[in-house]
Amino acid sequence: MPPTGFPFVILKQVDSTNNYAMAMVHAGLAKHGNAWFSAHQTEGKGQRGKAWSTGKGDNIALSIVLTPRKLNIIHPFQLSTAVALASFDFFHQFAGDKTTIKWPNDIYWGDRKAGGILIENKFSGNDWNWAVVGIGFNINQIEFDSQLANPISLSQATGQQYDLPTLTEILHRQVMARTEQFLTKSYASMLAEYNSRLYQLNKTVKLRKGSMVFDTLIKGVAANGQLITHDVIEKSYGFGEVEWVFD
């Protein structure tokens, strides 16, 4: 597998690859495109303070440091769009057309979660200096904690086992390729592609807002990252405002 051209470090064990990468940023030891991979995270992180549970030695935990200004990225959701597309590209390459992007930060295969994305940023005043892109994928894990709602691994989807460092380098390369599209491609075209990959697009789903559960039609995601739905009227929701409800 050809290298990405950016340093790629394999860690035997770490609490969180995002924590490790951010520590390198704060120490002045990180450069744009650096990546850290571990097959064993002891305290993996998900969105909004949730834990990312992963089997030891079975899955991908990857963190990539990016400098948004090098890529002409001006809004955090633009970066989220590119990373989601790269993550879609990765899983779809092996698992096929049941792969989708579930708003706001997950990769699904059918109705089951295969991976998740967590992006943490470092600002100085109004300057967006660094982004640490964390991606977790279930790869070779077969058994999951029964408390997890709907996990699936690449191995379960395809019936094969995979070499983790090789797959992680592929993912790293795809993230770099997608983010570098901002140098040559309009964001509108990338957002349109993102929406074409969206989980449950143009289908009616159940969402929860506070104590209220309601049915609504998924219309897409706006440039600012808000989910656009339609029931009685068209509405939009930001991150954390609503959550999906599965029967």
| Residue range 69-102, pLDDT digits in tens | 999 999 999 999 999 999 999 999 999 999 999 9
Classify residue 192: in a domain, yes or no. Answer: yes
The region of weakest confidence among 46-55, 107-116, 139-148, 153-162 is 46-55
Question: Same domain, yes or no, for 73 and 177?
Answer: yes
Instruction: Return the closest-CA partner of residue 108 out of 27, 203, 173.
Output: 203
Classify residue 2: in a domain, yes or no. Answer: no
CA distance 228 to 218: 6
Phi, psi of 121 (to 5 degrees): -120, 155
CA distance 4 to 136: 19
Contact 189, 216 (CB under 8 A): no
Classify residue 28: in a domain, yes or no. Answer: yes
The region of weakest confidence among 27-31, 50-54, 134-138, 162-166 is 50-54
CA torsion angle 210 107 154 131 (round to 10)? -110
Mean pLDDT, the chain, whole residue set: 92
Beta-carbon-side half-sphere exposure of residue 104 (alpha carbons within 13 Å): 25
Classify residue 1: in a domain, yes or no. Answer: no
Question: Same domain, yes or no, for 114 and 221?
Answer: no
CA distance 196 to 164: 29
| Residue range 137-183, pLDDT digits in tens | 999 999 988 788 899 999 999 999 999 999 999 999 999 999 999 99
Count how many domains the chain has. 2
Can you give the pTM of this predicted structure? Answer: 0.92
Token pair for residue 81? 């769009």
Residue 49 has pLDDT above 70, yes or no: no
